[in-house]
A = this chain, B = another copy of it.
Amino acid sequence: MATLLLLPGDGIGPEVCAEVRRVAAALVPSLVVEEAIYGGASYDAHGTPLTDEVRDRALASDAVLMGAVGGPNWADAPRHLRPEAGLLNLRKAMNVYANLRPAYCFEALAGASSLKTELVSGLDIMFVRELVGGVYFGEPRGIDVLPDGQKKGYDTALYTTSEIERAGRVAFELARGRKNKVHSAEKSNVMESGLLWKQVITELHAREYPDVELEHILADNCAMQLVRAPKQFDVIVTDNLFGDILSDAAAMLTGSLGMLPSAAIGDPNKPGLYEPIHGSAPDIAGKGLANPLAAILSFEMALRWSLKEVEAADRLLAAVKGALDAGARTRDLGGELSTVQMGDAVLCRI
């Protein structure tokens, strides 16, 4: 029997995860849903955002779904014990090297985008962001005091051939099931790690995926093109740092940040880590105002990628679209539904 480990975390995390629980019970009754403490809540209880026990339970489960971590309460926690550090450690421990971040525009919400409707209607981009390498983890890094009293802060942006290849493979495979087009974004004109990125993707493409259309694009131009004409993109593969920034910009194109899920996957027989793109939103936490759809859609990705319940995933996606088409809107979408009411709108369509 498959196990899903829920890590509700902080802020609105517990509220949106409660809706995932209801959806899971209705949709896949056989799924065992467990829960563990994580993030700021774990720091408060155990002095660390990720205990060894929770990490081991994550590794032993079939999929992990996180609510949200962090918030102003933990701003003064030591850096390596902040909720965000727990997140980075969990990604690394689970070795989920490919972060799939859709920037998908639900037809019912196209009018809510900052962009003119015709530029985003039908938008469907999938980012493959490398998630366990690059400047996020490279060594050496630190802040040193120089002889003259000045400080020097430094980080290492670093990629190896195999790290780039495995992220690239995920992108090319995905593209084959979509519009067959991959953009690889880097700054090969100024970074050596970017130049290696471009070379490795070029060779991987020629060797294993010559049938997929590949375009190299500089990260700055990619940011620009995402605003100018986002529908030119299908799959975008990029490094950890550029992926963070570009996918956030793209998420906003859809006009519905409270809607967007993500999946972090690694080796096929290992659990994936699923999380909404949104943060912990401390300002509305506990008020029943949060949109649970990003978490519910993250569960949809978990069904598809880790739990191999593709048919259930399809049904869930249809239920979410149905709810939106019927006008269900939480406050972030300009409506008045509560978190639970939005959950109901999905549940009654499953």
Contact = CB atoms under 8 A, between A and B. Distances in A.
Nearest to A190: B136
Contact of A252 (B156, B161, B193, B228): B228
A249 B249 contact: yes
Interface stretch (A218-226, A317-325, A341-349): A218-226
B195 A220 contact: no
A97 interface: no
Interface string A206-239: 0000000000000111011011110000000000
A88 B190 CA distance: 9
A350 B248 CA distance: 43
A37 interface: no
Contacts of A244: 187, 219-220
A151 B160 contact: yes
Contact of A157 (B114, B146, B157, B221): B157
A153 B241 CA distance: 15
Interface in A98-156: 114-116, 119, 135-136, 138, 141-143, 146, 150-156
Contact of A192 (B115, B141, B189): B141
Nearest to A162: B150
A119 B189 CA distance: 33
A1 to B, nearest CB: 37
Contacts of A220: 244-245, 248
B193 A241 contact: no
A189 to B, nearest CB: 5
B152 A158 contact: yes
A248 B155 CA distance: 24
B153 A192 contact: yes
Contact of A193 (B153, B193, B226): B153
Contacts of A155: 156-158, 191-194
A251 interface: yes
B190 A154 contact: no
B228 A114 contact: yes
A21 B350 CA distance: 68
A153 B196 contact: yes
Interface in A162-215: 162, 187, 189-197, 200
A143 B196 contact: yes
Given A84-B189, A227-B114, A227-B227, A153 B221 contact: no
A328 interface: no
A159 B150 contact: no
A221 B70 CA distance: 15
Shortest beta-carbon contacts, A-B, top 10: A153-B196, A153-B193, A223-B249, A227-B252, A220-B248, A154-B158, A150-B161, A224-B248, A155-B157, A224-B252
22 contacts: A114-B115, A135-B157, A136-B190, A141-B191, A143-B196, A146-B160, A152-B158, A152-B161, A153-B160, A153-B193, A153-B197, A154-B156, A155-B158, A155-B191, A155-B194, A156-B157, A187-B241, A187-B244, A223-B246, A226-B249, A227-B249, A245-B245
Given A84-B190, A154-B193, A245-B245, 15 more contacts: A88-B190, A135-B191, A141-B191, A151-B161, A152-B158, A152-B196, A153-B194, A155-B193, A156-B157, A157-B157, A223-B248, A223-B252, A224-B257, A227-B249, A249-B249
